[in-house]
Amino acid sequence: MTTSNGWPLVALSEIVTPVQRSVSVVPGETYRTLGVKWWGEGAYERQTIDGSETAVKTLNEVREDDLIINKIWVRHGSVAVVPAEVAGCVGSNEFPTFECRRDCVLPRWLHWYSKARELWQKCDALSQGSSGKNRIRPEKFLTIEVPLPTPAQQETIVAQIDRIADKIGEAKSLRTSANKECDQLCRAILRDEQFGPPTLTPMHELVTWRKPDVDVVPTKTYHFAGVYCFGRGVFRGQVKAGNDFAYKRLTQIREGEFVYPKLMAWEGALAVVPNTCDGLFVSPEFPVFTINEDRVFPEVLDVYFRSPSVWPLLSGASTGTNVRRKRLNPKDFLNYELPLPSNEAQVKLRNVRRKMSELQSLHDQSAQLDALLPSILDRAFRGEL
């Protein structure tokens, strides 16, 4: 088969080869572990562990330019080409790894294709299993066909994408710097005790768990929301027909509610629903809570739970022996004690956040920047760049 512009469509099995570089796990030895972020955001070094901290007997080492996937989350874009800074890290068998055949494919070509929506959609279609545990078997992953121009054409297109991505990166860096300063100011307000020290308060006094309330109709469509890891908030996800998923009930989220995915909360996937996601749907894997605004403002929860220093505390409240399968049960979340600021501090935070709304044009520009690269990649892999 070929693309509309004549490029051949080639199965991954023809251009990458499965590889396992087994490393024996020994208590007392340290191991740099890796992860693969969702939505094509790449592989990263997660943490260094002692061999006594894992039950597995062997781990697999990755090298620069390997193609790597997370079997469970590849349908959410958890696929990447390993960068130099992650080379030498190790992962479990949940992270199948492949070597690129450099005579026919540039690792950089697959790097950019790993960020293309069409690849994630192909992975989603091949994932199997119960909801929340859908996995893709490596042999199935290798059947996916990718557009493959000649190496010379790949090099030309990759160079074009790199130049455009650099420009987008510069603009996003300026935006990120401004956002970071805003976040630091808000966190400083929560830590400031000029209005008195905070009071440790269990979450069940501040929020109410709202159970799924929408019966799924197979013939209807539902626009889903998701929650990014690392404190990046709620986003608009895919639109799916009721007969395309197994859930019998969903929750329709509303602006100002609090939501997180059970499986990824400990990596900072918690947030207050913004108005842009009002009315979207989430599965039962996403507990939803109404906020008692007589006790706590939504802005306080949003700032607090987006703070990286808080996420390890949630990891301790999460259950599961496998670090990648830890889940934050709603009952455990409701027992979590939040350092509740005084009402005066909460009012100050709310006023600052409202003043920051004047930067909304910056956020609008941010959304345009975030949408630009996927659009460029769609064009690139259709041969229209």
Q: What are phi and psi of 33, to 5 degrees?
A: -95, 160
Whether 9-148 shares its CATH topology with 199-340 is answered yes
pLDDT of residue 273: 97
How is the chain split into domains, by residue range? 9-148, 199-340
151-169: per-residue pLDDT in tens? 999 999 999 999 999 988 8
Report the chain's mean pLDDT, rounded to a whole number.
90
pLDDT interval class at 359 (50, 70, 90): low
pLDDT interval class at 4 (50, 70, 90): low
pLDDT of residue 169: 84
pLDDT interval class at 319 (50, 70, 90): low
- CA 273/CA 288 separation, integer angstroms: 10
- CA 225/CA 233 separation, integer angstroms: 10
pLDDT interval class at 130 (50, 70, 90): very low
- CA 230/CA 234 separation, integer angstroms: 11
Q: Which of 28-37, 84-93, 267-276, 350-359 bottoms out in mean pLDDT, i.e. has the lowest?
A: 350-359
198-240: per-residue pLDDT in tens? 999 999 999 999 999 999 999 999 999 999 999 989 999 999 9
Q: pTM of the predicted model, to two decimals? A: 0.58
59-108: per-residue pLDDT in tens? 999 999 999 999 999 999 999 999 999 999 999 999 999 999 999 999 99
CB distance 66 to 99 below 8 Å = yes
pLDDT of residue 325: 56
For residue 125, what are its two tokens? 């279609």
Q: Which of 93-107, 239-253, 312-326, 338-352 bottoms out in mean pLDDT, i.e. has the lowest?
A: 312-326
Cβ neighbours for 283, distance < 8 A, ≥ 6 positions apart: 131, 132, 224, 245, 247, 250, 251
pLDDT interval class at 385 (50, 70, 90): confident
What sign does the CA torsion over 18, 77, 366, 382 have?
Answer: positive
- CA 27/CA 216 separation, integer angstroms: 49
What is the Cβ-side half-sphere exposure of residue 200, based on CA atoms within 13 angstroms? 3
pLDDT of residue 172: 75
Q: What is the C-alpha end-to-end distance of the chain, expressed in Å?
A: 21
Class of domain 199-340: alpha beta
The fold of the 9-148 domain, in CATH, is Adenine-n6-DNA-methyltransferase TaqI; Chain A, domain 2 (3.90.220)
The more confident residue out of 379 and 365 is 379
Task: Map residue 59 onto helix, strand or coil.
Answer: strand
Q: What is the DSSP letter of 264?
A: T
Top mean pLDDT of 8-12, 127-131, 319-323 is at 8-12
pLDDT of residue 179: 74
